[in-house]
Amino acid sequence: MQIMKVDPRALKENPDRTRQTKSTPQADALLLATIKAVGIVQPPVIAPESGGGNGYIIDSGHRRVKQAIKVGLEEIEVLVVDAANDNGAMRSMVENIAREPLNLVDQWRAIERLVALGWTEEAIAVALALPVRQIRKLRLLANVLPAMLDQMAKGDMPNEQQLRTIAAASLEEQREVWKAHKPKKGDPQAAWWSIANGLAKKRMYARDASFGEGLARAYGIEWTEDLFAPADEDSRYTTQVEAFLGAQQEWMTNHLPKKGIITEANSWGQPELPKKAERIRGKPGKGDCTAMYLDREGKVQSVHYRMPVEKKAKGSDAAGADDVGTLAKPRPDVTRKGIEMIGVLRTDALHEALSRAPIEDDTLMALLVLALAGRNVSIQSAASDDIYGYARMERHVVSLVNEGGQLAPDRDRLRIAARSALIDALSARENRTDSGIVARIAGNAIGADGFLPNMGTDEFLSCLSRPALEAACKDTPVLPRQRVKDTRAALVEHFREGHFVHASALFAPDAVALNGWLTENSVVADEDDGTPVDQDERDGDEPIEPAHDFDADEDGFDEAGIPEGFREAAE
């Protein structure tokens, strides 16, 4: 056994290698990025060619050799072993089966070592072909109790939100909660939901505060900076919930308009208006009233309403008219909290799929166009002085521009940048970041349903109505119980080792909503009277001709419609 340097192009593939299945483009892109960044860490194993040949065949490391050729390496180090009677079949099988992937805790330790050596999070992300968010997520482990780290090293990891909650607590708090909730002997998994719930401290963000610094000082509110939040937003927060809400209430009292009231939000997050009040959705009238309230995030919200005009009764028949009862509205299958949870789960699954799922280049291009149609995306015009929103996406294109300011994208870096940009742009959360139906179309296109977590938990099932819970029992041995909570407990126990995804969480959009969206966006409004007309015709006129006739020779474009000189500049 010896180490020698050879030209990777001179090595021959082993026809009897164990791994015959073609690797994914994402796996190849990751290997290519690491070889570019640090070279080949583990030399491929080769053996002399049998049958009297004077060449070498690859025993293990076919992908490393292939990507080294793609990088353009003239020589690589290899480990030469004696030829085997079975053409290396047993060595190849053992090499692939015995290998154990690096767990996330060890990945974090390796990342911390690189950071200590001067690597930035962005550089590590490029070298490993991972999103920067994944690197920052792993670095949260630095704030986790060692006993919990040992559990996570076994492959039992909490989800990102649970990990953030745990990492935000002190080690003493973690130690107390872990003592109460650590898994019993023989139980391979920890109850991360219970652990995170025991450590959860609701955060109230400064960006949601209507009050100023004066009231903040008066209520003794101290702001803490969230170091893992995006740099382009105010990430200060406080866990002094009562003080925050008190300051918000005092601000509402000081700024209450004439004919205004302060009210509470109901269990659906909607304001409790006076009986018989009619909520005004548009511009309020002169005689309309205002109700101010705090929503679930503690933000001040206001709505307008109108009280009906009292009418005198004209007899006994009229007096009894109001005695006719109306049926109460049935509870929806999924509560508002459940819908919000689905939005978060969908977004995490979509981002995971965008990071890991195989995506062809044409699909990736279509997704980028699709993302620009998201209702959470705003593109500022060059004629506008408002530049907010530009910087957020700029970091994705830095690697595509050379020092001379020319666009010179490397194909693999372009794919990574495209995926990262899509992760930033697409969201299914029930807030201002919601991309709308395009996020569901994108998730459906790349199979993000397969990345949805098990929703058969008490936290989510408690958001379902009785009919929805009983429907979830279908195709399971669980029978509906007389009490809803007993049905829910039985489903939680059944799905503890299984995987349940509620139908309403799947990415495929509703056919009616999809057709409405397609219809709405397939026509344009006439500039004169707003009448929808075909893009190519207006009121029976001839199809609209282009404003300028394209001529490749005169306009300085080649036959493919690409500006002359652009190809050379890109190369």
Quickly state the pLDDT bin for 395 (edges 50, 70, 90).
low
pLDDT tens digits, residue range 247-264? 999 999 889 888 889 988
Answer yes or no: are the C-beta atoms of 224 and 194 closer than 8 Å. no
Quickly state the pLDDT bin for 510 (edges 50, 70, 90).
confident
Give the mean pLDDT of 407-422: 77
**CA atoms within 13 A of residue 26's CA, in its CB half-sphere:** 14
Give the mean pLDDT of 545-571: 42
Query: Which of the residue ranges 196-200, 294-298, 382-386 would you say has the lowest mean pLDDT?
Result: 382-386
pLDDT averaged over the chain? 77
Quickly state the pLDDT bin for 18 (edges 50, 70, 90).
low
Residue-level pLDDT at 2: 80
Residue-level pLDDT at 571: 41
Residue-level pLDDT at 563: 39
Q: What percent of the chain has pLDDT over 90?
A: 10
DSSP class of residue 524 equals E
Distance CA(141)–CA(198), nearest Å, equals 18
- Helices 146-153 and 104-116, packing angle to 10 deg: 120
Q: How far is CA 358 from CA 68, 304, 354, in A?
A: 22, 49, 8
pLDDT at residue 324 is higher than 50: no
Q: Residue 149: phi, psi to the nearest 5?
A: -60, -40
pLDDT tens digits, residue range 511-530? 888 888 888 877 544 444 44
H/E stretch holding 5: strand 2-6
Distance CA(291)–CA(296), nearest Å, equals 16
Give the mean pLDDT of 474-498: 87
Residue-level pLDDT at 410: 72
Cβ contacts of 20 within 8 Å, gap of 6 or more: none
pLDDT at residue 453 is higher than 90: yes
Q: How far is CA 273 from CA 154, 195, 263, 324, 354, in A?
A: 52, 38, 7, 22, 43
Q: Which residue has the tokens 């995971």?
A: 352
Q: What is the DSSP string of 504-519?
A: GGSSSPPHHHHHHHHH
Biggest CA-to-CA distance, the chain: 114
Residue-level pLDDT at 20: 64
Quickly state the pLDDT bin for 86 (edges 50, 70, 90).
low
pLDDT at residue 409 is higher than 80: no
Displacement of CA 496 from its chain's centroid (Å) = 24
Residue-level pLDDT at 94: 58
Answer yes or no: are the C-beta atoms of 84 and 47 closer than 8 Å. yes
pLDDT at residue 558 is higher than 80: no
pLDDT at residue 228 is higher than 60: yes
Give the mean pLDDT of 470-475: 87
Residue-level pLDDT at 502: 92
Residue-level pLDDT at 292: 92
Residue-level pLDDT at 477: 86
Distance CA(352)–CA(364), nearest Å, equals 15
Give the mean pLDDT of 174-194: 87
Residue-level pLDDT at 449: 92
Cβ contacts of 191 within 8 Å, gap of 6 or more: 181, 183
pLDDT at residue 390 is higher than 80: no
Residue-level pLDDT at 39: 82
pTM of the model: 0.34
pLDDT at residue 209 is higher than 90: yes
pLDDT tens digits, residue range 96-147? 555 556 778 888 888 888 888 888 888 888 777 778 888 888 888 888 899 9
Give the mean pLDDT of 27-53: 79
Displacement of CA 148 from its chain's centroid (Å) = 25
Residue-level pLDDT at 506: 93
Residue-level pLDDT at 560: 40
Distance CA(213)–CA(97), nearest Å, equals 61
Q: How far is CA 517 from CA 188, 420, 502, in A?
A: 46, 26, 24
Neighbours of 275 (CB within 10 A): 6
Q: Which has more pLDDT, 545 or 457? A: 457
Give the mean pLDDT of 175-197: 87
Residue type (1 letter), 352: E
Distance CA(200)–CA(239), nearest Å, equals 10
Distance CA(17)–CA(84), nearest Å, equals 13
Answer yes or no: are the C-beta atoms of 126 and 416 closer than 8 Å. yes
